Amino acid sequence: MKSRFLLVMLLLAVLAGRAQPIQQVPPEQVGMSSAKLKLADEAIRKAIGDKAIPGAVLAVVRSGKLAYLKAYGNKQVYPTAVPMDVSTVFDMASCSKSISTAISTMILVEEGKLRLTDKVKLYIPAFTDNIRVVDLLTHTSGLPAYAPVAELKEKYGAPNPDALISYIATCKRDTLPAVQFKYSCLNFITLQRIVETISGRSLRDFAKENIFSVLGMQHTDYNPSGELLAMCAPTEKQKEGVVLKGIVHDPLARIMNGGVSGNAGVFSCATDLAILVAALMNGGEYNGKRILSPASVRVMSSIPVGMEQFGRSLGWDVSSAFATNKGDLFGPRTFGHTGYTGTSIIIDPDTKTSVILLTNRVHPEDKGEVGRLRAVVANIVAGAINN
């Protein structure tokens, strides 16, 4: 009897520890119109018909619940067609900056191991200038937008994260810090090295242990393998004819950083991202599991004082020229990010609404265009809010 009791208690503990999927409800239950949300179907299907994208997954989260989830078109069209499904895992590209690197950085701030005003050279001595952590997060460091991947590979071999960070530390700056907004992948590769130096963990392990596993994001990781790899949507066909699948599209992340990079490399699906945005809209907590304090979420999603002209918060976009994915109707505090492969996340803290639009627009060739589609879908979702 005692052994049976212990077995039951163990089973209950296992069940309790399992990830709880985000609750899916009819849109009307969270104050949204089903009929109006269906207008997004038309917009996305038109983009597929115009061959701007092979397919997409749309998720709308409101008040901590999944109000809309739908897949469209195909996740693969070359060499054969494979239908899209809502569990498809996407190369999140630069959305990785927000959902992994920026949140990891804020966790260290919360733990007292890092300050936003700390100079980078405190953690990476090869940086001899006055770039601060906040400058990296807001893309105001003055670092150039990218790095010469082919040159670095030829000179140092690849993957070679140490050579890459050495290049970033010593390369010519475009401006002094805090003078101009210039979007740069090098900012977040530098943040990766800071996170790894302080924590003694790879960014992959740190994010998994402190963000993804905590929230039960079971289909989110860098360098996917096994079942996760099989769920991935392919991206671009390479010159040699191989189609990337489960291998990050971004060249710096793929070649120099071996797939785990501060600027790109996270693979995820709509339902996992729905949990993450639900947590961010709830002060950093979802289903009793907390990744950030309300103070950290508030600071991270706000433009720092004195940097209003740049339009960037800490790892997210609020009002820069890159913020067109938020559309025309969501409020001024709405923040989000986009990914080169065709991914997009926006979060409106005032209406507690988030729009996750995932596409692989670079499949099979890097010709797809989703800029206008993102804004149109955002407007449709905002217009579907009744109260």
Each residue's pLDDT tens digit, 183-230: 999 999 999 999 999 999 999 999 999 999 999 999 999 999 999 999
C-alpha dihedral (76, 83, 254, 258), degrees to nearest 10:
-130
- Three-state DSSP at 336 gives strand
Q: Contact at 8 Å (CB) between 149 and 252? A: yes
- Mean pLDDT, rounded, for 73-87: 97
Residues 263, 254: Cα–Cα separation, whole Å: 11
Q: Where are the alpha helices (DSSP H) in 84-147?
A: 95-96, 103-110, 133-137
Question: How far from the centroid of its chain's Cα atoms is residue 14's Cα?
Answer: 29
Residues 243, 377: Cα–Cα separation, whole Å: 28
**115-278-211 Cα angle (round to 5):** 45
Q: Can you say whether residue 334 is alpha, beta or left, with left for phi > 0 and alpha for psi between -120 and 50 degrees?
A: beta
DSSP 125: T
| pLDDT of res. 249 | 98
| pLDDT of res. 12 | 37
What pLDDT band is residue 20 in, cutting at 50, 70 and 90?
A: low
What pLDDT band is residue 14 in, cutting at 50, 70 and 90?
A: very low
Give 258's Cβ-side CA count (13 Å radius): 10
Res 15 pLDDT > 70: no
- Residue-wise pLDDT for 99-119, tens only, equals 999 999 999 999 999 999 999
Residues 319, 175: Cα–Cα separation, whole Å: 21
Q: What are the phi and psi torsion angles at 62 (to 5°)?
A: -140, 130
What mean pLDDT value characterizes the chain?
95
- Residue-wise pLDDT for 299-340, tens only, equals 999 999 999 999 999 999 999 999 999 999 999 999 999 999
- Mean pLDDT, rounded, for 351-379: 98
What pLDDT band is residue 2 in, cutting at 50, 70 and 90?
A: very low
Task: List, in sequence order, every beta strand (DSSP E) within the chain.
Answer: 55-62, 65-76, 82-83, 90-91, 221-222, 266-268, 285-286, 289-290, 335-339, 343-348, 353-359
What domains can be seen in the chain, in order of their start residue? 23-96+202-383 (3.40.710.10)
Q: How is the beta sheet containing 90-91 ordered, strand by strand?
A: 90-91, 266-268, 221-222
**Rg, the chain, Cα only:** 21
What angle in degrees, to the nearest 10, is found between the helix axes of 149-156 and 161-170?
120
Helix, strand, coil shares of the chain, percent, nearest 5, are: 40, 15, 45
- Tell me which amino acid residue 143 is: L
Question: How far from the centroid of its chain's Cα atoms is residue 77's Cα?
Answer: 25
What pLDDT band is residue 21 in, cutting at 50, 70 and 90?
A: confident
**Taking Cα atoms as reference points, which of 95, 59, 86 lies closest to residue 265?**
95
Burial class (CB in 10 A: 0-12, 13-18, 19+), 225: exposed
Residues 70, 150: Cα–Cα separation, whole Å: 39
- Mean pLDDT, rounded, for 19-36: 93
Q: Which two tokens stand for residue 71?
A: 């897949």
Residues 261, 274: Cα–Cα separation, whole Å: 23
Q: Maximum Cα–Cα distance for the chain, whole Å?
A: 73
Res 13 pLDDT > 90: no
Token pair 């179907």: residue: 41
Residues 72, 368: Cα–Cα separation, whole Å: 16
The percent of residues above 70 in pLDDT, for the chain, comes to 95
| pLDDT of res. 22 | 96
Does the pTM surpass 0.85? The reply is yes
Query: Worst-scoring range by mean pLDDT, 63-67, 136-140, 239-243, 375-379?
Result: 239-243
Token pair 């994010």: residue: 207
Query: Worst-scoring range by mean pLDDT, 12-16, 22-26, 362-366?
Result: 12-16
| pLDDT of res. 5 | 39
